[in-house]
Each structure stands twice: as structure tokens, then as C-alpha cells.
Structure 1
Amino acid sequence: MSWLTRIKQSTPVHLCLAVTFFTSGLIVNVTQLVLFITVKPLSKTLYRSLMFYLCYSLYSQIVFLTDWWSNSRVIMYIDTDDLKKYYGQEHVIALMNHTYEIDWVVGWSFCDKIRILGNCKAYAKKVIQFLPIIGWAWKFAEFVFLERSFDKDRELIGRQLANILAYPDPIFLLLTPEGTRFTKSKHEASVKFAKEKGITPLAHHLIPRSRGFTASLPHLREKCPGILDVQLAFKKDEEIAPTVSNLLCGRGVTAYMYINRIDMRDVPHKEEDAAEWLQELFRKKDRMQDSFHKTGDFFATSGVQRVPKHEFKPRLSSLLNTVGWAVVSLTPITYYLVKMLVNGEILLFSIGAGVLFTFHTLLQKANGMTKISKGSTYGATQVNHQ
């Protein structure tokens, strides 16, 4: 093990990362609150433009872990003409498989490459908006928060999408139609449901829940011209698993991502037909995942047309942003801790050290929440997947 690897895996370094992220996150949250009170009532356009930079400042610290800290690779398969013409140029909704602990991290890394990271949005559980840092940031950034009760969510979807699609700059809206992260127990329940309903079971995905998607379509059609079919995979025989813990410890992974733009006009207007369109899309995604796990290639046996491979270099902005926040956060904290220790102010020093320990504990807690084993039980029992 090299000395650099040991440093990246050490507790003091993880403490520095935690202090930097949580301190900067609280500063971002407070700034968002001030802008929400003072700027948004006067100009929503200006407010949303400022939110882009604040959110980027927070999210890019996560991208830093992928691109710079762990030196992970994201190999993307994208049509070159579409990449030049559409990506980062329009509002899009992305339909992505929800299989891995770091699928959202890889998604953010891609969004950073097409310079849309600050305007990443997602459908998220309502409870998340009450979590400090990320949850509060998402609330101010107008994410689509759902209660997982369709009768309540139908109205919320329309109102919240109207806010998002009014943004002056392109937005990237993530929807994971499976509704929850893939686990063995959830997959077994999904297969049982599919057989009972006469639906083709999926080997590598859960049966997608179509109601959120179909309820969104009427609000998306006018201002969201594109849908991105995003398929993410990691090789099963890789020594390093795709987890947040490994990224924090500087252990890089290689992600493979297929991204295909679909014109919104190609999606049927009737709700039943749109639901079947989504089911067929996931059957295609399942063939691609099966092909990848058997051959190491999305296209070998899936019947999907091959598209060029792209690999983007990390953007310097995520590195500079993280280093800048580290200097702003760690310099005064270190100065005052050393000063208190030298002056014999043991009580104050102990309080300060306790606060730092709290930051480290929060980092471990946040890391634990990303683990598949700690995911929700939503989908582990038979429910209506429509």
C-alpha cells in the first residue's frame, strides 16, 4: 500500500473532508435561505440562476471524490451527433436504473461533464427535504418531492414540474422508475408480481412503476423535448466494489454508462400506451444489462445498435471548488483549535474537538445511508407497480 493510499484512507483526512463538506454545506444552506427570502419574491429567474452556482458548489464536492480523489473512470456510450446537439442544451428527464450505491454519484459526474450539474433535479422522497445540507439544498433548488401516495403525488407532480420547467437554463431531471434500489428481496417480489400480472419478469431490474412517469408526461411535453435512457453497469468481477466507502478511501472504480436521447414526441399520448412504452424500455434495458454481465459489452447480445464510446477528462472546476472550500473551512478551525490548546483553554478546545468529531460521525452516518443494505423496504413486498 502506497503512502498516498494510506493518507486517503486515514481518519484525519476523512475528518477534513467531512468538515469541509458540512461547513460549506451549512454556508450554502444559509445563503439559499437568504436568497429565498430576499431575491425569489422579486425575481425567480435571478434566484434560480444563483441556485445553479450554489448547488454546483455543493454537488461538485461529491464529483471531486469520483473524478479526482479516487480517479474513477466513467466510460459512456453516446451518439456523437446527439452529444454535440442536445446534451446540456435542453431540458431533459433521465430514466435510469437504480442498481448501485453510487449510481447518483456517477450521474452527477456525467452532468458535470456536460456542464449542467448545478441544475440537476430529481424525484425524491418527501422526508429527504428535512435533512440538513443535501435535503435543504434540494428543497431550495425545487426538487420534486413525493409522498409515495399517488393520490397526493399526482397534484404535487404537476405543480413542482411547472416550477422546474420554468428555469431559464437547461435542467436534468432524474427519475428512477423502479422506485427503489435493486435488492434480492425486492427483485423476488417484483418477479412474483410480474408473473401474477402476466408481465415479462426482468432479470436485472425491478418492474418499473409507471404512474409517476405517465402523470408527469402532460407537464413535460411542452417544455421538455428530450428523454434520456440511462443504463449504468459495473463489472461484477471487479476487485473494488462501487460504494461510497471505496470512493472516500480513494479506491477508484470503472463505471459503464449507456445514454440514449429519445424525442419526447415518440412517447405515446395515451396513458396506457405510455405505461407500456416504459415497460418496453425496461425490457430493452434488461437485455443490455444481461449482455453486459455476460460479455462485458452492452451491445453484443442485446440487439441494441452500437454507439461510440466517450470518456471525458475531469473538470478542473470541481477540484478548485473543493480545495477552495477546504481552505476556507479548515484554516480558521485549525487556527482557533491550536490557539486554544496553546493558551490552555482546555474546555473550549474540547468543545471544538467534539464538534469536529460530530462532523466525522455525520459523514459515517451519511455514508451508511447510501449502503444498499440500509435502503428502504419499499418494493420488498408485493405492491401495485402501476
Structure 2
Amino acid sequence: MVEKHKLVWLLEWWSCTECTLYTDRKNYIQYGKENAIVILNHNYEIDFLCGWDFCERFGVLGSSKVLAKKELAYVPLIGWMWYFLEIVFCKRQWTEDRKNVVQSLRNLRDYPEIFWFLIHCEGTRFTEKKHQISMQVAEAKGLPKLKYHLLPRTKGFALTVQCLRNVVFYAKLNQRRIPLEEIPEDEKGCAAWLHKLYQEKDMLQEEYFKRGSYPGTPIIPPKRPWVLVNWLFWAALLLFPLFKLVANMICNRSSLTLITFSLIIVAASVGMRWMIGMTEIEKGSSYGDNGMNQKK
């Protein structure tokens, strides 16, 4: 939870990024007061961070969950912390994932707090190559082609709805709240519903590119001070001893100690760059580059 707060602090308070929500007031007052499945687009490196930002603004950041690729579990610090925070990991191999994902989702049924479950149904970030392959699969399956999205992977979504149906009362689609009772219970019907959902998402995206805004009243949820307080607390707790250590080393003038400390700083910087690099589209996974993946 600490890492999520730090990342949201970077977005809100360091980069001063402002996130605007397009919705109606009737739905807006319900956000943060009920469990939800949040279906996110996957076009940019910071999609997940914007999702977390809205989780924070509605007071559910600490209890937010995501469906993430297994590789992220091995990322130092962040991945390990996600594991202990009950993040649901998948290997993108359905025969292996089904049992583990079902168990993780069932654990959420007894979660004591309101939570948002964030999911990228496209399975991977949008690139022109992946989009071309995805639309070939759509054509082969007789599905409408999408301009700004990849074909959604329906099995994971259907399984999520089935496992959380009696606990999560609404799924959120962009600006709307959709009662889970409106989503078919069988996998085939759920898959058809999700394809229709992404066709609607694609039309909304096209309207955004034409008009520069989504339909509905734009609302900017107020920032909450807790991510800033959290960051200031940990910065004061950790940086003061660090500065004191550096001051002592400079006063002692120990060359070996200074060199060792410098190497640690360089290694930490390189490690941080490596973790940031994992979120860049150019260095993303090859999942979706192979047409066979789309057919699974």
C-alpha cells in the first residue's frame, strides 16, 4: 500500500497531473461506496497509475486490487509488496491460470473493506502491430473491428464476474455503472457482452478524438491529502538517517565508505530505471504480437 501511495503522490503532487472524470452526478456519488470491477483501457504506460489515482480520490486505494501479469511479481520491492497485498497474478496461459485466479478471486469475496478490482481486458498495451493482428482475429471471428482498442480477452473477465458476482454489485464502464445482473452468467453470453462493451468503448474513444471530450459532465474529484502526508512521513523517517549517515562519512573522510555508498546509489538508480523501463510500451511484452495468442 505504501508503494501505491508513493506512485500516486508522484502523479498528483510531483508532476501536478490533473485527472478529469466524465460521468453524471447520480453515478458520481456512488463511487467509493461499493465494490466494483473497473474495466480500464490499456493504451499508455500510466493507465494503471491513473486508475490508482481515482482509487485514491474515492478512498479505496489501499484496498484496490488488480489482475497483473506474473512477471511483475518478481520486480524487486513493488512486485513483492503486490504479492502480500493479494494482487491477482496470471501467466497468460489459461490452463495454468484458471485454478490460481479462481482461488485469488474467491479470497476477495471475504475481503472486509470496499474494494475496486482493476482489470485490463485487452491483456496487453495497444501497439499498431498488436492492433493489426487483433483485428485479423476479429475479422476471422466475425466481430466488428475496433479502431482504438485490441480485441478484449473474454475468459478472464467472465471468470472474474462469476467469482465475484455475489459480492461485487456493479462494474464500471467509463462513465456508467452497470449492474452485474445485466451481465450474462454463462461464459458464451459473458464473452458476447464484453465484445459489445468494447465496441461501445471504441465509439466513445473515436468521439473523444473528434471532440476532445467525452459525453457527460466533466468532474474533477478533489485531491485527498493522505498520499502527500504518507510521502512526507516516509521521507522524513528515511531521509533524515540517510543524510546523517552521509554527513558522518564526509566528516570521517573514508574513501572506501564513500565509494561503497556511491556504488549503492548508482545501483539503486539503475534498478529504478529498469523498473520504470518495464512500463514503457516499446519494452512491453510480446503478448498479442502473435496471432495464435489472440485465439486462445
TM-score of the superposition, structure 2-length normalised?
A: 0.96
In structure 2, the partner of 1:40 is none
Name which of 203, 214, 236 aligns with 1:298.
214
Q: CA deviation at 1:385?
A: 4.2
Counterpart residue number, 1:229: 173
Q: Which moved more, 1:164-173 or 1:75-84?
A: 75-84
Q: For 1:366 and 1:339, how far apart are their aligned partners in 2?
A: 31
% identical equivalent positions: 33
**What is residue 182 of structure 1 aligned with on the other side?**
126
Gap runs ≥5 in structure 2 = none
Alignment of 1:25-174 (within 5 A): 55=1, 57-84=2-29, 86-174=30-118
What RMSD over aligned residues (CA atoms) do the two structures have, in Å? 1.3
- Partner residue in 1 for 2:268: 359
Amino acid at match of 1:291: E
SS in 1 for 2:19: strand
* 1:275-354 pair list within 5 angstroms: 275-299=191-215, 307-354=216-263
State the shift of 1:364 in Å: 1.3
Q: Tell me how far 1:358 sits from its aligned partner.
A: 1.6
2:152 corresponds to: 208
Q: Is the 8 A contact 1:113 1:314 kept in 2?
A: yes
Note the alpha carbon deviations across 1:8-65, whole angstroms, 9 max, x for none: xxxxxxxxxxxxxxxxxxxxxxxxxxxxxxxxxxxxxxxxxxxxxxx1x221111111
* Counterpart code for 2:236: V
Give me the whole-angstrom Cα distance separating, in 1, the residues matched to 2:251 and 2:116.
50
Kept in 2, the 8 Å contact 1:292–1:298? The answer is yes
Match of 1:266?
182
Check conservation: 1:91, 1:165, Cα contact below 8 A. no
Q: Distance in 1 between matches of 2:200 and 2:295?
A: 18
Query: How many residues of Structure 1 are paired with residues of Structure 2 in the alignment?
Result: 295
CA drift of 1:140 comes to 0.4
Q: Does 1:369 align with 2:265?
A: no
- Preserved contact between residue 208 and residue 282 of structure 1 (Cα < 8 Å): yes
Maintained 8 Å contact 1:179/1:209 = yes
Report SS of the residue matched to 1:77.
strand
- Which amino acid is 2:22 matched to? Y
| 3-state SS, counterpart of residue 117 of structure 1 | coil
Using the alignment, how far apart are the partners of 2:24 and 2:105 within structure 1?
28
Contact 1:208 1:385 in 2 (8 A): no
The answer to whether the Cα contact below 8 Å between 1:186 and 1:379 also exists between their aligned partners in 2 is: yes
Counterpart amino acid of 1:371?
A: E
Q: Deviations over 1:218-243 (max 9, x none)?
A: 2111111110113xxxxxxxxxxxxx
- Structure 2 Cα separation of the partners of residues 205 and 381 of structure 1: 16
Show structure 1 runs of 5+ residues with no match.
1-54, 231-258, 300-306
Q: Give the Cα separation in 1 of the matches to 2:122 and 2:295.
A: 9
Partner Cα separation in structure 2 for residue 346 and residue 266 of structure 1: 68
- 2:40–2:51: 8 Å Cα contact kept in structure 1? no
1:130 deviates by 2.1
After TM superposition, the runs of 4+ consecutive aligned structure 1 residues lying more than 2 A away are 383-386
Cα distance, 1:145 vs. partner? 1.0
Letter in 1 for 2:277: G
SS at match of 2:152: coil
Q: Which amino acid aligns with 1:73?
A: E
